[in-house]
Amino acid sequence: MKGVLRVAMGDAFSKALLIGINLYLIRHLEIDQYAHFTLLLNAMFLGYQLACGPLERIYIAEYDKYRDHLPILQWVLSGVAALTCILWLWRDIAWTDVLLIIVGVFLLASYQVLRIRLQQRLDFTLFSLSDILKNGLWFTLLSLLFSVPFLPSGVSALLAMLGGAFISMSILRWITKSRFPARQVNLSFSGGGRIFWEVRYIILYTMAGALVPYLPIMMATMIGGDEVNATYGAAMRYQAILGMVVFAVNAVLLPHMAVYGRGHSDQGLLWKHLARSAPWALVLFAVAILCVWWTIPYIDGGKYPLLRQVFLILSIPPVLSLLGTPFVNMLLLDGRARALLGCMSAGLAVNFFGYILLRPSQGFFAPAWASLFAYATITVAVVLCECRKCLRPVR
């Protein structure tokens, strides 16, 4: 429990720094600068999460079995993730942006893998401090760059972020060099292919799950224009404030999951705990949403007239995510990654076709509504999958 509280406190402080940085950038960057910044930032974040989502599951659950293959998995997944992000933004970026995305994805993935290794060894102190250090360095470097005339820009903000990640990773590597001795890497093609096949559902499920939060900005780029991209980028940064509430509730909820185990009686315990937690969580969400709604015009100075409406729609998916998380964890405890892949795939399909159907009538707001329907689909799907398991007769 101490480890959970340590991670929760560290994550809260780190996210507070991150939110402060993003609110500063929303206020001080011009619309075209912020649009460029938010596209590249989301591409880098999406890329490293596509790569590290599967790696985290494998590190935590199957480390001893696959540890010799994890480095090659990291590089292959990072390459696939970087290519995916470049193809997404191909028509909107220059070759220098392509280079920046590649460097960003590989650097952030390497940094995150180091944190995953700390998590796997239950070193929650360094795990928490590492992200605080990275965001603190980003804030420091950003302040230095923005204090020089003509330097404030989206690219400068990204370089400050990557600089903070690199310095933080270097410090962590120096601290942990005795804890993580070098291992022989298995580069066998047949062995690597076998590993990918064995964990294919974990890879596909976690990559699909990493993709879902970025669907609004991905759909927004299909509309095109700096104002649309900047508005959705800013709305997703405000949405991250609600993500802090999700993490805080999960920090209390998930430890209880460990004692549920599996079986018919556990379903009743799960519903009972949700019934106790959900009202308080919804109150926290309502307060957070109202606070953000009220402060938006004061932060952006009215640059984004439709931002509050977009944020209001995007404030519902975190609530749905919170409600679905216990059922996702129950499915993972049962090793049902294939079922989770089906749930995520259904959500992605609803988002894509929903956007196509809503675009003529909703226009600017179509990406936000499509994302909301996708989250609703995934939440309903995971609940039905878990309940269906418990309705099966015991043999």
Share of the chain above pLDDT 90, in %: 35
Q: What is the pTM of this model?
A: 0.84
Comparison of pLDDT for 371 and 60, the residue scoring more: 371
Q: Given a cut of 50, is residue 147 above it in pLDDT?
A: yes
Q: Given a cut of 80, is residue 49 above it in pLDDT?
A: yes
161-194 burial, b if ≥16 CB within 10 A, otherwise e?
Answer: bbbbbbbbbeebeeebeeeeeeeeeeeeeeeeee
90-111 burial, b if ≥16 CB within 10 A, otherwise e?
Answer: eeebeeebbebbbebbbbbbbb
Which amino acid is it at 382? Answer: V
Average the pLDDT over 228-257 and give the result.
73
What digits encode the pLDDT tens for the residues 203-242?
Answer: 888 888 889 999 999 999 988 888 999 999 999 988 887 7
Q: pLDDT tier at 5 (50, 70, 90 boundaries)?
A: low
What digits encode the pLDDT tens for the residues 289-302?
Answer: 888 899 998 888 88
pLDDT at residue 381, rounded to an integer = 93
Measured CA to CA, the distance from residue 259 to residue 278 in angstroms comes to 19
User: Looking at 149-153, 278-282, 383-387, which range is the least confident one?
Assistant: 149-153
pLDDT at residue 131, rounded to an integer = 85
Q: pLDDT tier at 60 (50, 70, 90 boundaries)?
A: low
pLDDT at residue 373, rounded to an integer = 96
What digits encode the pLDDT tens for the residues 114-139?
Answer: 888 887 777 777 877 888 899 999 99
The token pair at 134 is 């990275």
> Quick check: 47 and 77 in contact, CB under 8 A?
no
Give me the chain's average pLDDT, please: 81
Q: pLDDT tier at 163 (50, 70, 90 boundaries)?
A: very high
Q: Given a cut of 50, is residue 395 above it in pLDDT?
A: no
Which amino acid is it at 36? Answer: H
User: Looking at 43-52, 167-176, 321-330, 338-347, which range is the least confident one?
Assistant: 321-330
pLDDT at residue 179, rounded to an integer = 65
Q: What are phi and psi of 303, to 5 degrees?
A: -70, -25
pLDDT at residue 261, rounded to an integer = 45
Q: pLDDT tier at 183 (50, 70, 90 boundaries)?
A: low
Q: Given a cut of 50, is residue 102 above it in pLDDT?
A: yes
